[in-house]
Amino acid sequence: MNETVTVRVQKVRKNRVKARLVFFLILTGLLLLLAVFADRIVPHDPYAQDLGQSLLPPSGDHLMGTDRYGRDLFSRVLVGARTSIFSTLALVGAISVFGTVTGTLCGWYGGAPDSVVMRISDVCLAFPGLVFALAIAALLGGGVGNAVLALAVISWPKYARVARSRTLALKAAPFLAAARLSGCTSAQMILRHILPNILGPILVTAMLDIGTMMMELAGLSFLGLGAQPPTAEWGNMMSGGRSMLQTYPWVVLSPGLAIFLTVVIFNLLGDTVRDFLDPKTGRAG
């Protein structure tokens, strides 16, 4: 009787997680579509200046008001979604792939390369992440690409460590010994057996990292080390209006609200993906 109740509870929990996953996937898909087609749906030219329309409050014609140059903030927020979101996704994709490959190879082969790479990762993790990224971005100069590169330099070790620890745990598994006896090469065992078994934790880490990376990219742009004016990017837009927060708050709050909503959506999606892959939901084992 207790086993029947437990199975039923797990099934209900799994269905709820599936429903949440579908919901947040739809929200994320809509957000990405909005970013892709932003330049086609904006009500005004996001770069057209009209000083006669400077610093207008939100209204029917300008849903989020205008900035000091008379540019429509709603249009700039929509266009800025492309830069902010896709720069973040490119960053997370790059560090997750590089870190996973590096950690897997280090865990599988070990030896001196493993020791060297792990010491490098220790150095990266020894500094406060954003401070280290600020120093690297300052050396590289401004620009979205340089900001992404600066954050990539200090963010890959977490993926390398996750991949390495999972690889070390799997190396002693009986099914890998059987694969070795069947004549599989190291490359075949890594591609067929190691990577498929470590992609779950890597995917969850990457999903939960999107919101953090987005805020850090916006932080670099806010400090002048990321996107440069007049590029529509949320952190850069907040920086340009920070002196008017008390007098014209919509100039700062509009891109800030966009960052907040986007980070919340990606964080909730990451939490749901983690729950979906959790064996306690009754699906994975």
The span from the first CA to the last CA of the chain, in angstroms, equals 23
Residues 161, 104: contact at Cβ < 8 Å? no
Residues 220, 133: contact at Cβ < 8 Å? yes
Q: Domain count for the chain, please give it.
A: 1
Q: What is the pLDDT of residues 222-232, one digit of tens each?
A: 998 988 888 89
Backbone angles phi, psi at 69, to 5 degrees: -100, 5
27 or 173, which is more confident = 27
Angle between helices 144-155 and 129-140 (to 10 degrees): 140
The H-assigned helical ranges of the chain are 2-36, 38-41, 73-109, 111-126, 129-140, 144-155, 157-171, 174-181, 186-189, 195-222, 234-241, 250-277
Residue 234 scores a pLDDT above 70:
yes
Q: Which residues form the domain of 27?
A: 2-281
**Bond preceding residue 230 cis, omega within 30 of 0:** yes
Nearest to 107 by CA among 189, 178, 180: 189
Give me the mean pLDDT over the 190-207 stretch: 90
Q: What is the CATH number of the domain that holds 239?
A: 1.10.3720.10
d(CA 37, CA 259): 18
Residues 213, 127: contact at Cβ < 8 Å? no
Please, what is the average pLDDT of the chain?
A: 89
pLDDT interval class at 283 (50, 70, 90) = very low
Task: Pick left, alpha or beta for residue 183 (phi over 0 → left; psi -120 to 50 → alpha; otherwise beta).
Answer: left
pLDDT interval class at 216 (50, 70, 90) = very high
pTM of this structure? 0.88
Backbone angles phi, psi at 66, to 5 degrees: -130, 160
C-beta atoms surrounding 24 within 10 Å: 19
